[in-house]
Structure 1
Amino acid sequence: MTSPTTTTGGPAGAARRTGGPFALSHLDALESEAVHIFREVGGEFERPVILFSGGKDSIVMLHLALKAFAPAPVPFSLLHVDTGHNFPEVLEFRDRTAARHGLRLHVASVQEFIDAGTLRERPDGTRNPLQTVPLLDAIETHRFDAVFGGGRRDEEKARAKERVFSLRDEFGGWDPRRQRPELWQLYNGRHSPGEHVRVFPLSNWTELDVWQYIARERIELPAIYYAHEREVFSRNGMWLAPGEWGGPKEGEPVERRRVRYRTVGDMSCTGAVDSGAGTIEAVIAEIAASRLTERGATRADDKLSEAAMEDRKREGYF
């Protein structure tokens, strides 16, 4: 006769063996992992901060942080590196969201560093690579020891190399050889004075996971993520928005098209895609059929070289 302590029969035992009603869905498992990461950082670090741009990944990240500490408030402030060329509707959403949840928002301005002569405009007009200096300055000024980012491994090959807890040296630099093992979801946040840790709660999510979670949780996003008519022009196979950053150039006619954005960043390097997806369901269907990552399809800054992202990360970029 089987001892009661070792019995695995009956409906409940069968459900456990076959992954029945007791098994988490893949979205529940991802959510649980992210919530665990937020709580680990909350208990291990003194001054964490969440990078929050008003983009979909940072919005999902904030939603998870709210869940992790509810009903208490989120014990972290927010930080955004504003290039000065961000989409206005995304900045409006950023400010409104921070105010709604009563969170302090720190803004590090690339324009202020340009005005002070610390940074110089690039010939191509893009400011995305210029974010590193203001970011590191903000981390040092506010003594942040853990910085949450919405980076995901499916976005880009350099990001696929990073651990969930990514150690950065006293200059903000990233060395792949200093990556620590993270077996059994055990995270090592040990760091020396002057160093900090970048934390990626969405590391194991895909773009499709993010959108399915947005649909399930009914998370509000800026309208820029859904199909809308917009003036754009073509450059290097991408639809870019006209703006003060210097586009379009001669020979780049502006036309009105129905587009949406899969990712948002500096207007000078973030392209739109032709789309009729005006609802969450339509966006999910569109992404499921796509064979290009969102950054591969819409980010010009990642196409500067084969190692463009990794080079920037080594210098301190997120």
Structure 2
Amino acid sequence: MSNFQLDHLQHLETEAIHIMREVAGEFERPALLFSGGKDSICLLRLAEKAFRPSDIPMPFLNVETGHEFPELISFRDRRAAQLGAKLIVRTVDQALANGTAVQAPGEVSRNKLQIPVLLGAIEEFRFDCAIGGARRDEEKARAKERFFSFRDAFGQWDPKNQRPEIWNLYNGRLNTGENMRVFPLSNWTEMDVWEYIKREKLEVPSIYFSHKRRCVRRGGQWLPVNDLLPPKPREEVREMIVRVRTIGDIITTGMVESPAETIDDIIAEVAAARVTERGSRADDKASEAAMEDRKKAGYF
């Protein structure tokens, strides 16, 4: 009898690879959401391990808000090209131009505007499943997700209308117009993600590491100075050594003062952190129900 036992990361990896293969077996037209962030970087490695030496059997999809960090976009494009994958990009700017998305008066963040863009892409390409990198430890709404998260014919999520997942059995049956969101990293934590990135020697965008950047103090946090939302009169502006902990809309992503220059440095910071990962996202701090409301409407 073998004494071989999986360590913690190997167990999470095996579970996620199994889910990836379940998606390939159960769905006809799946897509993998790839933003270039740390979680989706792990998804790409898992997809490689699940399907190589064959091609990854699904295109990559990204909903671009127009408010991304430039470093993230260049990394996304380069990584997709390295893997020889088909990258589909649909933008909020396009949706605003054709009227499928409408920005509310005074609303600056474009997070909600991703909803019609994502639902439109799912309809355009007839995707029956979209794989994403959400994790249950991120915040309360995501903690309610199953691995296979059912969406109705309107693309909406009802946390009370989800299917049981017993003994690692997943129900992927869908009626016409319905689709599934699948989250292979559900049981991972922020620490697991960085430990996996270290073990697999994965490249990540440079903004995860400390760098010099002009920041403005707003809403109790440091936000990156940018042309989309320039500093107001009398706001405090400093040039600081910072990094991002989680990447979102450039006008709402808080910068963390940090000297972290290596993955080991980041892991040490995460271990000592007393603020949640998404605690630096101004759009999430605005309302505890913000994420759940967006998810119910069709957000990822």
**TM-score (norm. length: structure 1):** 0.91
Alignment RMSD, CA only? 1.2
Partners of 1:129 and 1:226 in 2: CA distance: 28
Counterparts of 1:49-60 in structure 2, within 5 Å, are 49-60=31-42
Do the aligned partners of 1:166 and 1:179 also contact (CA within 8 Å) in 2? yes
1:124/1:257 Cα in 2 relative to 1: closer, same or farther (>3 Å)? farther
Question: Does residue 1:230 correspond to 2:210, yes or no?
Answer: no
SS for the counterpart of 1:177 is coil
Counterparts of 1:57-206 in structure 2, within 5 Å, are 57-122=39-104, 123-206=106-189
Residues 90-135 of structure 1 show CA distances to partners (whole Å, capped at 9, x for unaligned) of: 0000000111111111111001112223333342411112100100
Equivalent position of 1:220 in the other structure: 203
Residues 282-306 of structure 1 show CA distances to partners (whole Å, capped at 9, x for unaligned) of: 100100111222112x111112222
Do the aligned partners of 1:302 and 1:308 also contact (CA within 8 Å) in 2? yes
Equivalent position of 1:6 in the other structure: none
Equivalent position of 2:286 in the other structure: 304
Percent of aligned pairs with the same amino acid: 58
Do the aligned partners of 1:125 and 1:245 also contact (CA within 8 Å) in 2? no
Counterparts of 1:197-276 in structure 2, within 5 Å, are 197-276=180-259
Partners of 1:245 and 1:126 in 2: CA distance: 10
- The Cα of 1:27 is off from its aligned counterpart by 0.1
- The Cα of 1:54 is off from its aligned counterpart by 0.6
- The Cα of 1:149 is off from its aligned counterpart by 0.6
Residues 232-287 of structure 1 show CA distances to partners (whole Å, capped at 9, x for unaligned) of: 11111121112232232233232111111111121111111111111100100100
Partners of 2:107 and 2:152 in 1: CA distance: 30
SS for the counterpart of 1:259 is strand
**TM-score (norm. length: structure 2):** 0.97
Partners of 1:180 and 1:170 in 2: CA distance: 16
Task: Look at both structures and tell me which one has the larger radius of gyration over its CA atoms.
Answer: 1
Partners of 1:41 and 1:247 in 2: CA distance: 43
1:124/1:254 Cα in 2 relative to 1: closer, same or farther (>3 Å)? farther
Structure number with higher helix proportion = 1
Paired residues, number: 299
SS for the counterpart of 1:128 is coil
SS for the counterpart of 1:157 is coil
Do the aligned partners of 2:101 and 2:117 also contact (CA within 8 Å) in 1? no
Residues 184-242 of structure 1 show CA distances to partners (whole Å, capped at 9, x for unaligned) of: 11111111110000000000000000000000000000010011111111111121112
Partners of 2:103 and 2:251 in 1: CA distance: 12
Structure 2: gaps spanning 5 or more residues: none
Residues 152-171 of structure 1 show CA distances to partners (whole Å, capped at 9, x for unaligned) of: 00001000000000000111
